[in-house]
């Protein structure tokens, strides 16, 4: 579902890596020379790393889905809230199994791009999870009829460094980046308590899934606020954002000693079939090798297990759906096929 973009010249072999990258992380980046084309440069080019896009249907209005039609195995409740600065409006949909919770409580999984995530699920998917150990699904969406709110997600899901100004997308000046830490705080301080209210929740098994900018957010949160969740699912993360900021953060990663955790990193092997500035050059193999190297790096943390999975034959948009199904299969113990 990738869009075509105007061609840009690829610059190989003439990169200056950020100063906070040690030798290990430099080796991770070695094979991604062209991919670093725009993101390793200052100023406007930081913004040009803008998300490898979730699809061409940004402004598509969604038809009625599982929440509107109802389910025989899940109940739904919807919360609406506004960001503290009044700029973004959220629709938080909580899908609650009708099946009684396990003794330890339901596993909650937070789904970024909640509108798109819910659109990827149907009754067959919910029934498959219900036959195993169904989780509570907490879809962090925006209060719009569209699959994505591109301006809101670009702000909420992307990090910036301390004291760095908001990052302006030079292709779309109305889109700013750098609000990830504010969104983490909103989740931890407000959304989590409201979404889990009156539910028996296993607070040692909280999980989060995100794709593209959402995958970037998952990794940034893992490396900077690791106590927020226990299990982390990052699909097609935009690693090159802001001069590989998240890769630098990985080198400082420390997992809480009293917490058990895991991460699954995923990416398609055909995400760059249509090249453009959002790919930042490179090849799928180079990018996937880099992501696998990152998984191996964080797998060394005590009490933490990380792995990488290639989504064979999939482009960027299709990776959203497949990674979501793999995540829910992993959480519930069910088998959700790509068509389920």
Active site residues: 212, 271, 316
CA distance 49 to 246: 13
Burial 138-174 (b: 16+ CB within 10 A, else e): bbbbbbeebbbbbbbbbbbbbbbeeeeeebbbbeeee
CA distance 208 to 224: 15
Say if CB 106 and CB 136 are below 8 A apart: yes
Say if CB 184 and CB 208 are below 8 A apart: no
316-332 helix and 123-130 helix, angle to the nearest 10 degrees:
30
Nearest to 137 by CA among 198, 75, 193, 189: 75
Burial 43-72 (b: 16+ CB within 10 A, else e): eebbbbbbbbbbbebeeeeeeeebbeeebe
Ramachandran region, residue 110 (left: φ > 0; alpha: ψ -120 to 50; beta: rest): beta
């Amino acid at each position: 579902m990738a869009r075509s973009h105007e061609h840009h010249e690829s610059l190989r072999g003439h990169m200056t890596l950020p100063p906070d990258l040690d030798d290990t992380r430099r080796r991770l980046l070695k094979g991604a020379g062209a991919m670093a084309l725009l993101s390793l440069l200052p100023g406007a080019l930081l913004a040009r790393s803008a998300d490898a896009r979730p699809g061409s249907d940004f402004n598509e209005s969604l038809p009625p889905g599982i929440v509107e039609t109802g389910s025989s195995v899940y109940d739904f409740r919807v919360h609406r809230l506004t960001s503290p600065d009044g700029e973004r409006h959220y629709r938080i949909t909580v899908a609650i199994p009708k099946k009684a919770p396990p003794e330890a409580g339901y596993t909650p999984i937070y789904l970024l791009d909640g509108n798109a995530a819910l659109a990827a699920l149907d009754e067959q998917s919910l029934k498959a999870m219900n036959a195993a150990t169904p989780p509570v699904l907490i879809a962090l969406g925006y209060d719009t009829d569209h699959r994505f709110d591109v301006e809101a997600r670009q702000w909420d899901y992307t990090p910036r460094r301390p004291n760095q100004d908001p990052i302006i997308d030079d292709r779309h000046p109305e889109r700013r980046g750098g609000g990830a830490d504010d969104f983490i705080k909103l989740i931890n301080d407000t959304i989590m308590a409201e979404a889990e209210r009156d539910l028996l929740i296993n607070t040692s098994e909280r999980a989060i899934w995100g794709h593209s900018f959402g995958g970037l957010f998952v990794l940034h949160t893992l490396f900077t606020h690791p106590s927020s969740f226990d299990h982390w699912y990052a699909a097609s993360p935009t690693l090159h954002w802001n001069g590989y900021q998240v890769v630098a953060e990985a080198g400082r990663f420390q997992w809480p000693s009293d917490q058990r955790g895991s991460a699954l990193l995923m990416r398609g092997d055909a995400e760059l079939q249509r090249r453009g500035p959002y790919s930042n050059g490179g090849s799928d193999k180079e990018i996937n090798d880099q992501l696998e190297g990152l998984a191996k790096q964080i797998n060394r943390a005590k009490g933490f297990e990380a792995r990488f999975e290639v989504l064979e034959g999939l482009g960027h948009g299709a990776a959203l759906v497949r990674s979501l199904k793999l995540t829910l299969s992993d959480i519930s113990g069910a088998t959700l096929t790509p068509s389920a």
